[in-house]
Amino acid sequence: MFEDMKTITGESGNNERKNSRGIRVGTARINLVCGDITEQETDAIVNAANSSLMGGGGVDGAIHRKGGAEILEECKIIRQESYPEGLPTGKAVMTTGGKLKAKRVIHTVGPIWYGGDKGEQELLSQAYRNCLALALENGAKTISFPSISTGAYGYPIEKASLVALRAVIGFLEKNEGIKEVRFVLHSIHDLKIYENTFTEIS
Ligand code: APR
């Protein structure tokens, strides 16, 4: 299942070399890289948002900061027209990528970790599946994910990586059309956890 470890230059164009690992699922590739999601040149990147869609810290803050006001403007319209009460956990919506390299941003709300018996696993799985379904519906063939819910929302990354990879592999086994799913981890530490999980389930 694993292709050889290959190195890629840093997404931000610097010479920092990063490792990436990939597996093929049907006609799609799943790649794990260490980098900054706002620098990814995939058709879509996923934002780990909150239900307000009005921005925040972490990935959310970085995407709004770099993507510019256009993204927030479209989020406000989505809130008014479709989600006046806020985007429910596990759902996904799409906006322009604004000034980002990616053409689109898919905003999803991951579950807050309360210990694991409040349906967190299914909600996290839904978030990944709904982002992929929305990408496919809109012709986005390459998509980058951050490690949803494993920052401010406190989902243990070892557990979250298992849910994330299983949800993505399961979706790709049932649906054609996506060419690449890229997990963009913000540290080598997180990348190694995802790689270990990859190895466990492959
Ligand atoms: N690129 C890639 N990954 C990143 C980046 C980045 N630029 N910045 C942070 N991360 C990583 C974090 O290290 C963590 O592993 O993304 C993962 C998710 O962290 P958060 O952004 O905190 O997202 P989450 O845990 O889902 O919490 C969402 O935080 O920022 C607020 O508005 C957001 O309320 C929402 C909550």
What number of residues does the chain have? 202
Helices within 16-145 (DSSP H only) = 58-67, 69-81, 120-137
- Per-residue pLDDT tens digits for 68-112: 999 999 999 999 999 999 999 999 999 999 999 999 999 999 999
**How many angstroms does the Cα of residue 151 sit away from the middle of ligand 1?**
5
**How many angstroms does the Cα of residue 38 sit away from the middle of ligand 1?**
12
Say if ligand 1 is within 6 A of residue 144 CB: no
Q: Who wins on pLDDT, 11 or 63?
A: 63
Say if ligand 1 is within 6 A of residue 95 CB: no
What distance in Å separates the CA atoms of residue 196 and residue 190, rounded to the nearest whole number? Answer: 10
Give residue limits of the domains in the chain: 3-201
Strands 28-34 and 180-185, sheet pairing: parallel
- Per-residue pLDDT tens digits for 124-137: 999 999 999 999 99
- Per-residue pLDDT tens digits for 42-69: 999 999 999 999 999 999 999 999 999 9
Q: Look at residues 131, 177, 173 and name the one whose alpha carbon lies nearest to residue 37.
A: 131
Q: Is a pLDDT exceeding 60 seen at residue 19?
A: no
The whole-number average pLDDT for the span 26-30 is 94
Q: Is 60 a catalytic residue?
A: yes
Q: Is a pLDDT exceeding 70 seen at residue 8?
A: no
CATH number for the segment(s) 3-201: 3.40.220.10
Say if ligand 1 is within 6 A of residue 46 CB: no
Is the whole-model pTM more than 0.85? yes
* pLDDT value, residue 149: 99
Strands 17-25 and 142-145, sheet pairing: unpaired
Using CA atoms, how far residue 117 sits from 7, 89, 112, 121, 155, in Å, is: 39, 15, 11, 9, 12
